[in-house]
Structure 1
């Protein structure tokens, strides 16, 4: 006797999940249309997310086996670059597909020569995922960090497509929440054939949530393998001139900032200007759409703003704060910086990747809320490649100290880069684990 579709409680859960996503999509589609119009990708982004690819869009995949790598946003995409390059070298006949959720991540992905096709990740609705998997037909799916979408994972598994998680991590903040839904998570985790986790603690946590120990390995953190971008001296000088900066000015670039942080950074800037008239500040909000809000706050503080998108080379005076309102230029901003502050850390967001500053040999500052990057922040502090500040007064004190001692800034930058060099190797370990899955598939 055949069981009805609702015999298994999980079918009911997936049905409810689909319904919730469909309802959410009624609001998300207009949202993505508005964002896409701003960044010039409106129709393309929505079509990708619905799995409705234009004629010829998937042509780079014709007649080729496919490896699909998914990285949610900028940080995960940059971390995945050495892995993508390694997959290209090891499997030159395969087509490499890279998908992202955010426009910022997609803008980085579109610049990569090692990728054959960049897509926006589809809505995780069963009918959409079935359509997408049927069109792309990947031989292997690689998820970067904790991008586990239930329908995507289970329907790929049902088609016999191996799914691997690389650079896996379970943050201090996420772990208790995941544990509450362990019963729902376990069937999804059973569909993933490989977990290449960053640390032993991450490995223990994913096992506690339901992943089989025989599927778990510790590969290290891909972020330590990021390749240094090459900026020509002339290009950097031209960019600095375009922003209105002169060599004797000392620039603090505050990247990936969130609501509540920009105001503290502006206050710290004004406090440091008293004894450091050559000090300048650039704010780069994590979400560019917050630019008007950030600019309004600066104006209320009695200062002026200059948008990176509107810079015309006019000298940057002490009363003007730069705002990075463009996509995909964070490393260019960091390259100009004398000091880097990484946001999401003075407010309880969990922090962002501080190794991007170390990659460019820049001294990095960050706040106390680094639970998403607990191991990285510990290593950077131990290596003396960065400083942690607890609040506004601490930030002012440390900035004044670093502004007064350029040799300290240079020493911290070198120490951060040396840390990266010492911990490299996660890419090779991850590639070895992935090669086993591909051989098994073959």
Structure 2
């Protein structure tokens, strides 16, 4: 019965996405990216692959891709003879990383029906399949197991409220048993899996820490940003949503100390950026206008709005404090990119609890959730006035990231067991 309901839910979801695609651009990309996909794969892949063995990496979206990227790159370096196939479920991953140079072929994942799974596996013939963090597609996993493909999940994280651990969750527990090995982020996840009889489990940590370390080491120098910040304290606002800005804007309008602010919206909408600028009492600039004027900002310009995609990870190197968006809405965005540069991190007080790093850093004093503007002012103002306190909290964040690197090596050690 559970298998039937699963198949029905997958087909219903696909049907609804085709309807929503008439009105929603992301849904339209989701549908269009899958149109004729299996036929294109059948036409293209056999020629491209030739005699190479195939390794398949699957990520739900951009965040999971960035999490898995250190493993993809380590695999490429250690096993260059493999053809790397990379798939995405969401347009927010595929559309941003469809030209990623270290994968040999990148595409959407066809909808998880028995027919699609069977044909996809027959066409691609993977020797290895990696699923990053949350991805548990029943038909694909069953088909991979039937073909005796090695299947690993890494950077996985589990919580007691998930269906795997409910009394009625037998179907979902069986899905997990298709994996040869599951490498988890924390001890709670390991204990939960062992409590349902899964023994092929390793506590390896989270490969995102390796990724943010890579990002910090490869961060671009941006002379125009350095010129904007100069000697002032700088607040970098990453992945800002409107709900975040409604907390931030009154605070910025009331700040009495010198402060530069760099704001990177979660999505670039010109009308929204202009509305935010109008609500600010201090002068602001759009990045595109700033660079077109030769990197010269009018006097007293406080805020710089980034109106392009791809700069955020390098912007953090110029910050002294960070506010990361999303927690007032769908969920907190990546705070580790800010933490690795050694700065205190702020975010909304709602949807952050499922992010272990947020919970950890709050407990350690490096991060602070805020409910409203008054709380933001209460916690941020002392850091603007006290350089030593700001440095201490920032160093807490930096050391937290450094102490947790190394998960990629553990994943690759597990891979070696299957290469012998």
| Residue in structure 1 matched with residue 417 of structure 2 by the alignment | 436
Contact kept? 1:168, 1:196, Cα under 8 Å: yes
Cα shift readout 1:338-374 (whole Å, capped 9, x = no counterpart)? 32112223x2644233211122233322343421213
> 1-side partners of 2:30 and 2:296: how far apart?
33
> 2-side partners of 1:410 and 1:417: how far apart?
10
| Residue in structure 1 matched with residue 115 of structure 2 by the alignment | 127
Tell me the TM-score normalized by structure 1.
0.79
Contact kept? 2:317, 2:341, Cα under 8 Å: yes
> 1-side partners of 2:205 and 2:240: how far apart?
27
> 2-side partners of 1:261 and 1:163: how far apart?
40
Contact kept? 1:142, 1:166, Cα under 8 Å: yes
| Residue in structure 2 matched with residue 422 of structure 1 by the alignment | 403
Contact kept? 2:41, 2:123, Cα under 8 Å: no
CA pair 407-104 structure 1, distance change in 2 beyond 3 A: farther
Tell me the TM-score normalized by structure 2.
0.83
Contact kept? 1:255, 1:340, Cα under 8 Å: yes
SS at match of 1:93: coil
> 2-side partners of 1:404 and 1:344: how far apart?
27
Contact kept? 1:167, 1:198, Cα under 8 Å: yes
Task: Count matched residues.
Answer: 414
Alignment partner of 1:282 is 2:262: yes
SS at match of 2:33: helix
> 2-side partners of 1:262 and 1:170: how far apart?
32
| Residue in structure 2 matched with residue 393 of structure 1 by the alignment | 374
Deviation at 1:144, TM superposition (A): 1.0
CA pair 167-232 structure 1, distance change in 2 beyond 3 A: closer
Alignment partner of 1:252 is 2:235: yes
Cα shift readout 1:191-242 (whole Å, capped 9, x = no counterpart)? 222211111111233455x5x4212221112122223334577x4214555x
**Unmatched runs of 5 consecutive residues or more in structure 1:** 1-8
| Residue in structure 2 matched with residue 118 of structure 1 by the alignment | 106
Deviation at 1:377, TM superposition (A): 2.6
| Residue in structure 1 matched with residue 314 of structure 2 by the alignment | 332
Alignment of 1:32-431 (within 5 A): 34-35=25-26, 45-47=33-35, 52-53=40-41, 56=44, 60-106=48-94, 109=97, 112-171=100-159, 175=162, 179=166, 182-207=169-194, 210=196, 212-226=197-211, 227-229=213-215, 230=217, 235-240=221-226, 245-272=228-255, 275-276=256-257, 278-286=258-266, 288=267, 292-293=271-272, 295-299=274-278, 306-309=285-288, 311=290, 312=292, 313-315=295-297, 321-345=303-327, 347=328, 349-369=330-350, 370-374=352-356, 376-381=357-362, 383-431=364-412
Alignment partner of 1:26 is 2:18: yes
> 1-side partners of 2:226 and 2:165: how far apart?
45
SS at match of 1:214: coil
> 2-side partners of 1:434 and 1:101: how far apart?
24
**RMSD, aligned CA:** 3.5
CA pair 213-126 structure 1, distance change in 2 beyond 3 A: closer
> 2-side partners of 1:91 and 1:155: how far apart?
25
**Unmatched runs of 5 consecutive residues or more in structure 2:** none
Deviation at 1:280, TM superposition (A): 3.1
> 2-side partners of 1:176 and 1:11: how far apart?
14
